């Protein structure tokens, strides 16, 4: 009964719900707990069908440019649910740190070339 009451209360707060089962990319760091406080950015990409391998190969080369500050928390792709969906999770101390880190990546030779193909 307690669970049914919770579901009824929850339904008054939700507009929609969607589930995905994800696998992590093998080339990304394994997600680790972060000392905080941090802000987290979740980026989601919907790929064209048939491009997952090519996209992953480009990101495998590109991610090395974003590992220095340990801001790359994890990269995941959908295995069950909506397919051809990719998620990146990033951690930053604050918005200023996010801006500085992202701008620094664009100044690194090779980052732009790899990202261009994704």
- Summarised one tens digit per residue, pLDDT across range 54-78 is 888 888 888 887 777 778 899 999 9
Which of 33-37, 43-47, 68-72, 87-91 shows the lowest per-residue confidence on average (mean pLDDT)? 68-72
pTM: 0.79
Q: What is the pLDDT of residue 95?
A: 95
Instruction: Please tell us whether the domain made up of 18-116 is placed in CATH 3.30.70.100.
Output: yes
- Mean pLDDT value of segment 10-30: 87
Q: Where are the alpha helices (DSSP H) in 33-94?
A: 52-62
Confidence band, pLDDT 50/70/90 cuts, at residue 47: very high
**Mean pLDDT of the residues in the chain:** 88
Q: What is the pLDDT of residue 3?
A: 93
Q: By 3-state DSSP, what share of the chain in percent is helix, strand and coil, each rounded to 5?
A: 35, 25, 40
- Mean pLDDT value of segment 85-109: 91
- Mean pLDDT value of segment 74-87: 90
- Mean pLDDT value of segment 21-43: 88
Ranges of beta strands (E only) in the chain are 21-24, 39-46, 72-80, 85-92
- Mean pLDDT value of segment 15-26: 88
Q: What's the CA gap between 47 and 76, in Å, rounded? A: 13
Task: Write the burial class of residue 75 (CB in 10 Å: 0-12 exposed, 13-18 middle, 19+ buried).
Answer: buried
């Amino acid at each position: 009964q307690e669970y049914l009451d919770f579901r009824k209360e929850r339904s008054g707060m939700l507009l929609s719900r969607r589930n995905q089962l994800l696998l992590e990319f093998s080339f990304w760091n394994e997600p680790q707990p972060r000392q905080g406080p941090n802000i987290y950015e979740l980026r989601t990409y919907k790929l064209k069908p048939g491009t997952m391998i090519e996209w992953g190969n480009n990101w495998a080369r590109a991610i090395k440019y974003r590992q220095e500050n340990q801001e790359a928390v994890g990269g995941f792709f959908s295995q069950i649910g909506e397919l051809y969906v990719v998620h990146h999770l990033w951690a930053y101390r604050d918005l200023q740190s996010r801006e500085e880190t992202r701008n620094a990546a664009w100044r690194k030779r090779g980052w732009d070339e790899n990202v261009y193909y994704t």
